[in-house]
Amino acid sequence: MGNKLLNPKISGSPNPLCLHTARWVVPVSGPPIENGAVATFGGEIVRIGRARELQSSYLAEIRDYEDSILCPALINAHTHLELSPLKGRLSPSGSFVDWVRSLVEARSHIGPEEWMPAIKKAVTEMQKEGIIAVGDVGNSDLIPRLSSKVDSNWPFRGIFFRELVRPLASENETDLDMPGANTIWIRDLHCPLRHSFSGHAPYSVAPSVLKAIKAWDQGHGLPFSIHLAESGEEIEFLQTGMGPIKELLEEKGHWPLGYEIPKTSPVNYLDRLGLLDKDTVCVHCVHVDQDDISILAKSGSSICLCPRSNIFLGVGIPPVEALHASGIPLALGTDSLASNDRLSIFAEMACLSRLAPGLSPAVIFRAGTSGGAEALGISEKWGTLAPGKAAIFLAIASGPIGQRDVSEFLVHEGAKGSANWIIG
């Protein structure tokens, strides 16, 4: 994808009034508009509607994209760009814990000169795939430093989650010194990513630490994120304190834990800790039952689905139709190149459509756009085409689509088409 790649940075000079017209406009905030137009001025969308109406309302330069589909840029709500050098180095093992072991091992063999070129390549790939914003998770400062460099042409908005893995903290520890909170990259105004903290998973971070992370995020008006209910091993460990995850913790010297095994589901556990609310992004949620779904729905938390990663790891498939039916807001993520061969939200949409045929294409496309923007708290500017949103969006060169539903085309063919960036 991507026969024309523009760096989607907002220019400093005022952009003139412009009408972008095309056979289809898919605003996501409303139904698709045939022969539609998007009016932009000064870097913002000012109106959308039928081309004929907007042309009679505005004296503006017209840019016609003919048989294309204008739609919001995509949101990758969960990835780990710093793991990009692991692309192709890990094979699906059938065991989540074995995959974690091989990830840690492979990561230790990456040479210092390999990190940045692989990360930059992944950044370019995501740009070509029409992604404007990320929920990027990392344990190092590679991404904060790259994204805050003025000359790096860093293209993404969104959140960098500094991920904590800390299974052994004492239950009494409440006043955490959040590492990184006072470093320069947290406050760097040049960095288009906001910086938050995330907990790795319910089994790898002590409950007191999880609560402290959530409190820090809440206090800064930022989303909290956590891998949740990803594997059968996680369910077994939280219920019984046994299984491959216990063995892994023992190997790492993290056993015995300084707290009680919760003996419940991961979702119920987080709910008991008070971690689930509308600003929490639960990543994966493969192993959830109806009670878990009810808890999640009541909490207002978003779920970020990463279907291609789930398939790669063989951890199972989330009950997507039931999650959607309960009203839980859905977002989409690629996870990292250690468990995926692409960083493409279009590819995740096509995969999700195969896994969950009961989900309409419009719902799936919403997950990859406005669902991600809402989960990351950036929906004021991103995720839909509507007045007041940033005038940076996509033109998918579709050719005539005949009688096909336009959302269905985007979900199934988006990854094969050609995406151009429009900056109005």
State the residues that interact with Zn ion by CB under 5 A. 335
Structure tokens given for 255: 């056993």
Question: Considering beta carbons, is residue 54 or 331 the nearer one to Zn ion?
Answer: 331
Q: How many CB atoms lie within 10 A of CB 11?
A: 9
Min dist. Cβ of residue 309 to Zn ion (A): 7
Rounded Cα–Cα distance for residues 206 and 212 (Å): 10
C-alpha neighbours within 13 Å on the C-beta side of residue 58? 24
166 beta partners: 205
Question: Considering beta carbons, is residue 234 or 335 the nearer one to Zn ion?
Answer: 335
Q: Residue type for 60, please? A: A
Min dist. Cβ of residue 78 to Zn ion (A): 6
Quote the radius of gyration of the chain (alpha carbons, Å).
Answer: 22
User: H/E/C letters for each residue in 184-206?
Assistant: HHHHCCCCCEEEEEEECCCCCEC
Residue 63 CA, chain-centre distance (Å), reads: 31
Question: Considering beta carbons, is residue 21 or 225 the nearer one to Zn ion?
Answer: 225
Question: Considering beta carbons, is residue 335 or 374 the nearer one to Zn ion?
Answer: 335
Rounded Cα–Cα distance for residues 392 and 382 (Å): 9
Question: Considering beta carbons, is residue 60 or 193 the nearer one to Zn ion?
Answer: 193
Min dist. Cβ of residue 308 to Zn ion (A): 12
Residue of 278, 276, 346, 352 whose CA lies nearest to 320: 352
DSSP codes joined into one string, 58-75? ---EEEE--SEEEEEPEE
Question: Considering beta carbons, is residue 333 or 414 the nearer one to Zn ion?
Answer: 333
CB 87 within 8 A of CB 119: no
Min dist. Cβ of residue 80 to Zn ion (A): 6
Min dist. Cβ of residue 33 to Zn ion (A): 36
Rounded Cα–Cα distance for residues 28 and 24 (Å): 12
CB 401 within 8 A of CB 332: no
Min dist. Cβ of residue 283 to Zn ion (A): 6
- Which residue in the shown chain puts its C-beta closest to Zn ion? 335
Whether the bond into 256 is cis, omega within 30 of 0? yes
- Nearest 5°: phi and psi at 227? -70, 130
Min dist. Cβ of residue 137 to Zn ion (A): 6
Question: Considering beta carbons, is residue 345 or 394 the nearer one to Zn ion?
Answer: 345
Min dist. Cβ of residue 134 to Zn ion (A): 12
Question: Considering beta carbons, is residue 136 or 335 the nearer one to Zn ion?
Answer: 335
Min dist. Cβ of residue 225 to Zn ion (A): 9
Question: Considering beta carbons, is residue 1 or 119 the nearer one to Zn ion?
Answer: 119
Structure tokens given for 371: 């669902």
